[in-house]
């Protein structure tokens, strides 16, 4: 039986200014299996986020803002395969970050084995080493790895900012529900687009 629900309203900001030395961009799981149409778990709206994410990365690099990537990583007999089937197996084409957003020298790639970019990884430690307080979170999938990473960041008292044009989901409901949760549960800042973010 289908159920129709309405996502409660959430606030969308037109502009946010962030101190460059205390801010970082996190690109969540922009890998071939999720972003390329030939991928094992293709998210149809993910390709449209490549250009905005790349624009944000250019802006961040120009401002000297640190950039982190998460790379979902699975091995033989991973329990997550029982949920989603085999995907982003270590060393495969599907596991690689898409060519358009390849990390550059100085960027940090965090390999993770679960939805949350902080779970079992050095991400929190590295952010604290660099005195980061604000995280601009982009990538896919909005209500899965983006939401869990944003939630985990907020529970560690990082300020979370999410540009709407730089995340993707399998359905509109999942997309808006994730943004609502980030705003409502974690007091994250939702902005219209990457153009709304100013590093100062």
pLDDT at 4 over 90: no
CA distance 70 to 66: 14
Domain residue spans of the chain: 16-199
110, containing H or E segment: strand 108-112
Supply the DSSP string of 120-156, one letter for each residue: TSSHHHHHHHTT--EEEEEEE-IIIIIHHHHHHHHHT
What are 70's strand-pairing partners? Answer: 28, 110
pLDDT band for 21, please (50, 70, 90 cuts). Answer: very high
pLDDT of residue 185: 96
Note if 14 is an active site residue. Answer: no
pLDDT at 63 over 90: yes
Note if 29 is an active site residue. Answer: yes
pLDDT of residue 179: 98
pLDDT at 76 over 90: yes
- The single residue of 33, 72, 78, 112 carrying the catalytic annotation is 112
Quote the mean pLDDT of the chain.
Answer: 97
Q: Are 175 and 147 in contact (CB under 8 A)?
A: no
- The single residue of 29, 33, 72, 165 carrying the catalytic annotation is 29
Quote the pTM value: 0.96
Domain 16-199: assigned CATH number: 3.40.50.850
- The single residue of 72, 78, 116, 145 carrying the catalytic annotation is 145
pLDDT at 151 over 90: yes
State the DSSP code for 194. G
pLDDT of residue 6: 86
CA distance 106 to 135: 17
φ, ψ dihedrals at 23, nearest 5°: -125, 155
Note if 21 is an active site residue. Answer: no
């Amino acid at each position: 039986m289908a159920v129709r629900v309405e996502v409660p309203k959430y606030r969308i900001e037109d502009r946010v200014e962030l101190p460059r030395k205390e801010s970082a961009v996190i690109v969540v799981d922009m890998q071939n299996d999720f972003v390329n149409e030939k991928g094992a778990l293709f998210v149809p709206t993910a390709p449209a986020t490549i250009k905005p994410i790349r624009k944000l990365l250019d802006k961040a690099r120009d401002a000297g803002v640190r950039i982190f990537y998460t790379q979902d990583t699975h091995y033989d007999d991973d329990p997550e395969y029982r949920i989603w089937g085999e995907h982003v197996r270590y060393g495969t084409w599907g596991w690689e970050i898409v060519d358009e957003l390849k990390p550059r020298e100085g960027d940090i790639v965090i390999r993770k084995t679960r939805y949350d970019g902080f779970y079992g990884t050095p991400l929190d430690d590295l952010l604290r080493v660099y005195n980061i307080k604000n995280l601009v979170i982009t990538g896919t999938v909005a209500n899965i790895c983006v939401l869990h990473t944003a939630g985990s960041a907020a529970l560690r008292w990082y300020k979370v900012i999410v540009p709407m044009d730089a995340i993707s989901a399998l359905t509109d409901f999942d997309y808006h529900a994730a943004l609502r949760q980030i705003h409502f549960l974690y007091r994250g800042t939702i902005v219209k687009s990457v153009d709304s973010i100013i590093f100062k």
